[in-house]
Amino acid sequence: MPSINDKELAELRKQVDVIDKEVLRLLENRYDLIREIVKLKKRKKLPARDIEREAEIIRHKCKLTHLPPAFIEKIYRDIIDHAIEMQER
C-alpha cells in the first residue's frame, strides 16, 4: 500500500484548511441570522425552544447528505443548543 509523503499530506491538509475557513465563514453568517431571530422572538414573546422545528431541521439536513445521520445530528444539536442559549440570555 503506498504511503502518503509529507508533500501529499501537506497539500491535503491545506485543502482541509481552506474548507474549514469557509465553514467558519458560513457559521458566522448563520450566527448573525440567529441573532436576528433571537431579537424577533423576544419582541414577539415567542419561546426559545421549538422541539418540532429542531427535529425537522435535523431530519432535513440528514436527507441532504451522505454523511452519517448521527454525525449530522450531533453537529446540528450543538448548533441549535447554542442558539437556544443565546435566546435564553
Nearest partner of 61 among 48, 79, 46, judged by Cα: 79
pLDDT at 87: 82
Say what the pTM is: 0.80
Q: What pLDDT tens digit does each residue of the chain (89 aa) get? A: 556 678 889 999 999 999 999 999 999 999 999 999 999 999 999 998 999 999 999 999 999 999 999 999 999 999 999 999 988 88
Give 61: exposed, middle or buried? Use CB within 10 Å, 0-12, 13-18, 19+: middle
Helix, strand, coil percent content, the chain, rounded in steps of 5: 80, 0, 20
pLDDT at 66: 97
pLDDT at 2: 59
Task: Provide the grid cell at 60.
Answer: 432535513
The answer to whether residues 35 and 86 touch, using CB atoms and an 8 Å cutoff, is yes
The architecture that CATH gives domain 6-88 is: Up-down Bundle (1.20)
